[in-house]
Each structure stands twice: as C-alpha cells, then as structure tokens.
Structure 1
Amino acid sequence: MNRGYWRRLGLTAAMSTLLAACGGGGNDGSNAPTGTLHVAMTDAPACGFDHVYVTVSQVRVNANAQATDSDAGWTAIVPSTPQRIDLLSLTNGVLADLGPVALPAGQYQQVRLVLAQNTGNTLANSVVPTGGAEQPLATPSATQSGYKIIQPFTVQPNTLADLVLDFNACKSVVARGNGSYALKPVVTATPATVSGQISGYVAAAEAGATVYAEQGGKVVRGTIADTTGKFVLSPLIQSSTQGTYDVVIVQNNVASGIVRSVPVVVNANTAISTPAAPIALPPSPMSIVSGTATPTANALVRALQTLDANRYEIASGNANLDSGAYRLSLPAAAPLISTYSSSLPLSFAAVPAAAGQYTLEADAASGATQSAPVDATMSQTSVDFTF
C-alpha cells in the first residue's frame, strides 16, 4: 500500500493497531543514506473475548536475523508514551499510529515487539472474556527482550517503507486452569510494498462472521465482517510471490463457505462479492468437539476440512496450559465452495460428502503434530491427544 493509504487508515481509526514509524528520509549526518520505516499492527479475530489489550512500549529492528537482545545494530521505534491498544478493534484494515524512526538504508531481517509490564493494579496487558470481568494477561517473554519476528524487508534511501505486524489474538491468548490467561504471541510481518487486499460482503444476517485468507490449510490473515457484512483482508503478499489465497467464511449456526484461488495484486483490491450480491450461506446445526492435549505440549488444536484434496482451517483454539482441555464448535452441514472469477456474483455448490467431516490436528509448541478424524454430524465428539 502506498504512503497515503496508510495515513488515511490511521486517521480514520481510533485505537487500531498501527505500530507506525514515520520519519524523515535523507541523511543522518553521516555518509550513509537513510530512509523511513513505518510499522503497523493489525489483528485477526479473537475467540471468546470482548477485548484483548496489549501495551506496546517499543518496536526494535535489526539487520541481523540472529542478533540477540544485547548485540549491536538495534534501532528502536519508541512512542512518546506506551500505547495500550485493544487488538479486537483492529479488524478490516484498522490501524493506529505510534511514532517515527529513520533508519540507514538497507535490508533488515529481525523485528522485536516489546510490551510494557503489568504493575500492581495497573493492567498494561489484559483480556475481557465475553460476559466476564477484565483479567491480567501474563506476558513474561514479550516484556523483556520482545517477541521475535523474522521477516526480511528493505528500507530504500529517502523512501518510506511500510511493515505490518499481524497480531493473531485468537491464537495468542491461552487459558490456564485457575481461570487466568497468558500470552503466547502469534505475530507475522508483511512488507506492504509487495501487498494488496481481498474484500467482500456476506449477507446482513451473517454480520460478525469470521473470514480467513488461507494457504495450504493455514490461516494467513483473518478479520470479522462488520455490521454491513463487509470484510477486508489486508495486507496480503502479492500472488506473483506468494500464490493465490483461499477465503474461508465461518459463522455460528451457518455452513462454511470457501472461495478458492483468489489472486492478490500489489496496491489493489480483489473483490469476491458486492453489497448488492453478498455471499449468503445456509443454516447449519453445530457440533461440539472437545477433549484434552497433554498440558506440557502447549498445543494449538485446529479443525481442518478436506475438499478436492485441499485442506481448509475452519476453527482453532489453544488447549488450556494447565489441564490441556480444548473445545471447538463446528458446522455439521455441507460446506459450500466456489472458485474465484472476476465475473461476480460467484456461484457456490455444496459438497455433501464433506458434511461434518473434519480432521482434528493438535500442533505442539515443540513442532510435533498429531491428528484424528472427527464426524461432526454427531451431537458431541471427544478426542484426546497425548504427546
């Protein structure tokens, strides 16, 4: 996206997450040319929370992917005061500006996201469970050296470079057995110079649906359809570099919808539906799948659906850090699928053979993975994973 694009988003979004650094280009007083780094943060949907607050104290960058916290070469983007941000306000391209920095021109490899600490009764980082009270969010590693993100990006001389951090709140917040919560950051970075977006509309009755951009059964970006049914998935790396995307639409009591092979072009929007012809999905009964994963595995449990040999993530959740318990709600009806075309509206077809058929996958923090088939046409299914 160009510089004006980010500025317009920042002006229209109160308390979104744009970790921004806008500074002057030119020269820093030495012979080395400089450019400006502008960092932004956005969010994917959260599961079971009304608010997820984090307080950003600084963002650090380094040209060395292996640099440790004490090594030379770090430059920090430090807001005038730490910015407490509700990650759940960062859907559909909403961003929040945190401050400027100038950097020597060149390629950078590592980003560190540093969060402020909770102090006494002052909650820098916290969660508000749906229908519940605000509770502290433990962030031991992120408050010290910062959460490490490896993503190459280039700062050109006398030029603004945009980098967007996608903080996936849904997969980052983990419950504990005593009712408290801890942060296990899941953050990716996207250079905006090679990105575009996908947008569309779902029917008004499905406002609030979760919409994912996926590749190979893994969520790349996520958002929530607003009250008009509109959704925006941004930023997404251009298809000429990254390949096309599958858009997955999930809503409680509604069948899943999938649009395959959606292309993304730099600085452009790819629409898959319009306000006049939104994507409307049929109702579906829901089935609960629950169980446990070995607590020490610190596992993420994902429900995947296979259509035409391709996998799509429909739901996911972190297992409780102490008990290992997890719980997912899945549509039992047949998913509807379409393939992208620039000629709208798209035509969807149900896949009856896939109705309620999922593969449950538990991904441990160590990298180990286990999976098991699940039939969600049953009222409730229990699956345990032992690592």
Structure 2
Amino acid sequence: MELKERFLKYVSFDTQSDESSESFPSTDKQLVLLKHLVEEMKSIGLTEVEMDKHGYVMGTIPASKGCENAPVIGFISHVDTAPDMSGKDVKPQIIDNYDGKDIKLNDELMMTVEDFPELSFFKGHTLITTDGTTLLGADDKAGVAEIMTAAEYLMSHPEIKHGKIRIGFTPDEEIGRGVDYFDVEKFGAKFGYTMDGGLEGELEYENFNAASAKLFVQGRNIHPGSAKGKMINALQVICDLHQMLPVNMRPEYTSDYEGFYLLISMEGAVESAKSAYIIRDHDRDLFEEKKVILQAAVDFMNKKYGSDIVKLEMKDQYYNMSQMVKPHPEVINKAIEAMKMADVKPKIQPIRGGTDGARLSYMGLPCPNIFAGGMNFHGKFEYTSLDSMHKAVQVIINLAKLWAE
C-alpha cells in the first residue's frame, strides 16, 4: 500500500481520546484502528503481532540472516487524536505542487502564509490539509503510516540488512496516559524512536518536565446586599491567585527553553470554584521552583482568609528525557546520520511539550523523537507534507540499516 493511501485510510478512523474517561483506552473507537493495524501487520508478514488487553499493538520485523545479534530497536507512534477538536468524518484536501500561497480550506476559512509562515518551507510539496471543520489526525497517524510503510518496504526487500525491529502503537498519548501500561520488557528493544515530531528534520531528545495542578476553592456566599465583611467570592479568589503567578511565565510570552504556567480551565460560582493548570519547564530546578511558587500563592490566600479555603492537588506527569538519552549518544548520532542519508537537514531542538518517548525513557527505553511531517496539530489548520512523510519513511529504513552495521 502506498504511503498516501495508507495515511488517508488511517485518518478515516475516528480515534479521539477522552480525558474524562476512566477506562483504558479512554475510548473504544481507538481499538477499531488498533485492530485494523494488527491485521495489516500480519498481512505484510510481521511476526509476534498482538494486541494486549490494554490495546497496545506490537509486532516484529525479523532480523536479516547474519544480523541476529544487532541491537533490537523499536519505532513507536500513537493512534489517538486530541480531544481539542473533532477527528470524526475527516475530509482531507490534497494540494499537489503547493504554490507557497494562502490555502483556502473552505468558503469561510483561509490558512494564510502571514499567520503560518512555515508554509513557505513546503512550496512544491504535496500537502494534505483539513477542510476546516475537523483536525486532520497527522498527529500521529502520519507517524503510524510512516512506520507501517517502512515495515512493508523492509519486509519486501530482504536484501536490506537489519537487526530485529520492534513496532509499537499506543492509545491515549494525547491525554498523557499513552504508556501507563506499556510493557517495556515485553517490547524488548534496547533503544526506541517515537515518530511524533513536526517539521521535517526535527530531532528531539529534550522535553519539558511536566506537572498538573488543580485548585479547589470553598467560598462563602452571602446576599450581596449584606455581604460586606462576610462574603468570600470563590471566583474572585481564583482570579486573585492567578494574578499572583508571574505574567511573563505564560505560554504566550515564552519560547525555546523557557517554562510556563498555563491556566487550562476555570469554573464555579461565588460559593465554590475550581481551576486547573499545567506547569512546564525544561530545567528541573526551575520546574521545582514553579511548583513552590504556586504552593506559596495558595498558602498566602489561605493565610489571608484565615482558613484553608484553597486546596491544591499537584502531580508530576513526566520528566525531561535528556537525562536518560544523553548517556547513549549513539541513539542520537545514528538518527542524525539517518537523516543526512535521506537528504534531510537535522534540526535538533527541545520539545515544548512531551511524547510517549519521554516516559518510556524513564521506563528503561531511551526514546528520542523524530519528525513525522505534520504541522499545526490539534486544530482545523492541521496539515502534513507527503514529501516530508516520504523522507521520514526513508529515515526509518536508514536507521534499520545503521543499527545493523
């Protein structure tokens, strides 16, 4: 199956994950694509293909004769799409030989070069966009399609020498649960690569340290006509506390290695209210400092009102993978070489986010992240370059060769 056909097939599956769900995977519809992948992997000749009770799909490209002792490497992508926007009834639009100009998604919506200057990189490429009503699903069905296409190529070209290669597809990455039950020992790879990056050439082995924080405020609702000295407006407490956090540490004011607090939700009434944050920083000390600042703001508000009206629940989510990857420079160096062999200029940069690879690295599988070609993830402006996706396939094949040397 051609890469384009495979990708368009995968995005036809609605695989949106659900953060409010308590099941795993969080939605049954993810299993539909995962089961499809099981059958497809079997059809192209992969061995040890299975889906476990948690929905993880794994399979093997057997080692070439004489390469059985080469290090086992793995390639991993997630099948779910973000809860931010619908991934149902995706209607991809294909633009051949993109002219570098603004793109009309529908009668009401344009994707302009002014708003998205990265488009200029893709002049002459074949682009696949949304129709402006859903996300596309390139995050991360582009990665899934690239891994499957590379696997089919390796299986049909036995002259290419490679060691044993493991493939893994996961659910629920978009809601931070992607590897909650991933069996690293069973996967059996020494090193792995997630195909979950964006722009062509991206290679990432540094990511945010991450925490979530939830605030619960118990106010005191008194009729406003007689509220003086009595009312505690829970919504106002939430707002006041938010204003105590550094303004310059919001995402809209940060870049590169700079961390942030992001207020992701706020709801309630005078009597009670709640809010939620994500906290991010590449530097572990600055990350811990951000948590201390938030705790200090909570303590101040409680002292101000003379009781514990604000409750804070804070939980670490994942850590910077660099600590686990840097001791193994070969996993980075081979990725760089594989890109150069594919005529791709490596762009080593930190992830202003996280991937399954971050947690897998701390679970014993050093796992940097490689570009998959998609852009503008999680929304109606999402698109991917078919040309870049072909380059990603070649990078996978090149890595297979390099690890067998």
Same fold (TM > 0.5): no
**Higher RCO (Cα < 8 Å, 6 or more apart):** 2
Please identify which structure carries the higher strand content.
Answer: 1
TM-score normalized by structure 1?
Answer: 0.22
The structure with the larger Rg is: 2
Please identify which structure carries the higher helix content.
Answer: 2
